Chain A
Amino acid sequence: MRIFAAICSQHMHLSWRSGQTMLAVSFLFIAITLLPFGLGPELNLLRALAPGLLWVVLAISLLTGLERLFQADYEDGTLDRLLLVPLAFEAVVLAKLLGHYLALVLPLILAVPLAGLLLNIEAARLPVLLAAMLCGSPALVLLGGIGASLAVSVRRGGLLTVLIAMPFYVPVLIFGAAAARAGLETGVAVGPYLGILAALSAASLLLAPFAIAAALRSALR
């Protein structure tokens, strides 16, 4: 639908132009850079921890970028307008989330191999790690979106968004990191983990838009 595409591309456009994409990717690299200062530069240690660390940093980078998802529209009146469009509001929400995913999350995931290099990750692990992130990141965006929409009317509600979204992230992180580790252990199939991640994403896709739409409608009342 043209309106769906317009809302999606508008969000992507705005994210790029206001530098959000660059900010999120920079944040990813800065966070990864800080880790050796805390953990020590021992390469073997970093290599062993790399998949889990990358997952956690990806999740946090995602969460920090979520605040912008709805709050700018809420404050300047665009959200009112999006409710008055001949498209179901849940679909409007999905359009924004898709735009956010394409503009912010995909670049983050594409930056992961480079960030992994900083942690001396084994190249063989990367494909599985990326596959797991692609399967699990929709869940992260959708669940984080619930937090962002609940906190939308709160000024500087970024921290609140993180606090609300964090318990939802636990299952995704558990299975995502497990999938990344399973890639190299013989006899452990990666498929089931990716399946669980995809199932979590699918379930979020079914439930989150309704919760987000309800939360946004409530904030506009």
Chain B
Amino acid sequence: MAETQNLFSNMQHSRDAVCRADGLACARGAITVFEGVSFSLAAGQALCLRGANGSGKSSLLRQLAGLLPAAAGTLTHPDPAYGTHYLGHEDGLKAVLTIAETLAFDAALAGYRADNDAYADIAARLGLAGCDWQFVGDLSAGQKRRLTLARLIMDPRPLWLLDEPMTALDAAGRALVTDLAEAHLESGGMIIAASHETLDFADAEVLLGPRR
């Protein structure tokens, strides 16, 4: 019942997972945000989405997460309920809970329960102290962003959708994200990240912008 999964040690994602877009368009209300976007991602590859504010990076990620329907074109992606992690702009953290309680909830959503030592372990790996007593509301913005990475560790899913993963993170935090990303790619996962800056782990870039 109580399983501690060190999910990065020998996890291998299925190489069958596929993420592909063909002539994809996105509309918010009556406005076309973007159209004609095509890409194909295989296991172990990472894509970086670049573009100005409002170019639709977040919308594309939400389409891949199944939260926003495609206005035109085709989109193939893993089942969001089992195969995708979506880390958006908002943290999804509750200020009145402790770190341990937050991690316990993450674990429960992944379908298991672990003991406090495991949570302390994960918190330590994320660079957060005071797992048992620290309230999320008292953490800094950077620390909160680190905490949101916990579900990536605790729940193995092939596709990661990261919206501005480096915001509010210091150098150590960015190194953490890069490490996690590289380990994930090595084990056969896929990453699509939207970012204003260059990401070290990305293989390719897609630029969203007005047609030239």
Binding site for B on A (CB under 8 A): 2-3, 5-7, 10, 13-14, 17-18, 75-78, 80-81, 83-87, 220-221
Judging by beta carbons under 8 Å apart, are B96 and A18 in contact? Answer: yes
Kindly list chain B residues whose C-beta atoms are within 8 Å of the C-beta of A6: 105, 108-109
Kindly list chain B residues whose C-beta atoms are within 8 Å of the C-beta of A220: 67
What's the minimum C-beta distance from B183 to chain A, rounded to whole angstroms? 22
Chain B: how many interface residues by the 8 Å CB criterion? Answer: 27
Judging by beta carbons under 8 Å apart, are A84 and B90 in contact? Answer: no
- Chain B: which residue is nearest A217 at the CB level? B67
- Complex-state Cα separation, A2 to B97, whole angstroms: 20
Judging by beta carbons under 8 Å apart, are B65 and A17 in contact? Answer: no
Which residues of B43-60 are within 8 A (CB) of A? none
Q: Give which listed residue, A3, A75, A80, A86, contacts B86 with CB less than 8 A.
A: A80
Q: Give which listed residue, A3, A14, A18, contacts B111 with CB less than 8 A.
A: A3
Judging by beta carbons under 8 Å apart, are B111 and A84 in contact? Answer: no
- Complex-state Cα separation, A83 to B69, whole angstroms: 14
Kindly list chain A residues whose C-beta atoms are within 8 Å of the C-beta of B66: 83-84
Q: Give which listed residue, A3, A5, A7, A76, contacts B93 with CB less than 8 A.
A: A76
**Interface pick from B12-20, B76-84, B121-129:** B76-84
Judging by beta carbons under 8 Å apart, are A77 and B111 in contact? Answer: no
The answer, yes or no, to whether B68 is at the interface (CB within 8 Å) is yes
Judging by beta carbons under 8 Å apart, are A14 and B96 in contact? Answer: yes
- Chain B: which residue is nearest A1 at the CB level? B111
Q: Give which listed residue, A13, A78, A80, contacts B65 with CB less than 8 A.
A: A80
Judging by beta carbons under 8 Å apart, are B92 and A78 in contact? Answer: yes
Kindly list chain A residues whose C-beta atoms are within 8 Å of the C-beta of B81: 84-87
A75-B111 in contact given A84-B65, A86-B82 (Cβ < 8 Å): no
Judging by beta carbons under 8 Å apart, are B109 and A3 in contact? Answer: yes
- Complex-state Cα separation, A80 to B111, whole angstroms: 18
Kindly list chain B residues whose C-beta atoms are within 8 Å of the C-beta of A80: 65, 67, 86, 88, 90, 92
Judging by beta carbons under 8 Å apart, are A76 and B67 in contact? Answer: no
A-B residue pairs in contact (CB < 8 Å), sample of 25 = A2-B108, A3-B111, A5-B108, A6-B109, A7-B109, A10-B105, A13-B97, A14-B94, A18-B96, A76-B92, A76-B93, A77-B88, A77-B89, A80-B88, A84-B65, A84-B80, A84-B84, A84-B85, A84-B86, A85-B81, A85-B109, A86-B81, A86-B82, A86-B111, A220-B67
Q: Give which listed residue, A3, A14, A83, contacts B108 with CB less than 8 A.
A: A3
Judging by beta carbons under 8 Å apart, are A221 and B69 in contact? Answer: yes
Which residues of B150-204 are within 8 A (CB) of A? none
Kindly list chain A residues whose C-beta atoms are within 8 Å of the C-beta of B112: 2
- Chain A: which residue is nearest B157 at the CB level? A84
Kindly list chain B residues whose C-beta atoms are within 8 Å of the C-beta of A81: 86, 92, 109
- Complex-state Cα separation, A9 to B72, whole angstroms: 40
- Chain B: which residue is nearest A220 at the CB level? B67
Kindly list chain B residues whose C-beta atoms are within 8 Å of the C-beta of A78: 92, 94
Judging by beta carbons under 8 Å apart, are A76 and B105 in contact? Answer: no
Judging by beta carbons under 8 Å apart, are A75 and B109 in contact? Answer: no
Kindly list chain B residues whose C-beta atoms are within 8 Å of the C-beta of A10: 105, 108
- Chain A: which residue is nearest B89 at the CB level? A77
Kindly list chain B residues whose C-beta atoms are within 8 Å of the C-beta of A13: 97, 101
The answer, yes or no, to whether B91 is at the interface (CB within 8 Å) is yes
Kindly list chain A residues whose C-beta atoms are within 8 Å of the C-beta of B82: 86
Kindly list chain A residues whose C-beta atoms are within 8 Å of the C-beta of B90: 75-77, 80
What's the minimum C-beta distance from B83 to chain A, rounded to whole angstroms? 10
- Chain B: which residue is nearest A6 at the CB level? B108
What's the minimum C-beta distance from A79 to chain B, rounded to whole angstroms? 9
- Complex-state Cα separation, A17 to B98, whole angstroms: 11
Kindly list chain A residues whose C-beta atoms are within 8 Å of the C-beta of B84: 84
- Complex-state Cα separation, A175 to B75, whole angstroms: 51
Q: Give which listed residue, B69, B92, B105, contacts A77 with CB less than 8 A.
A: B92
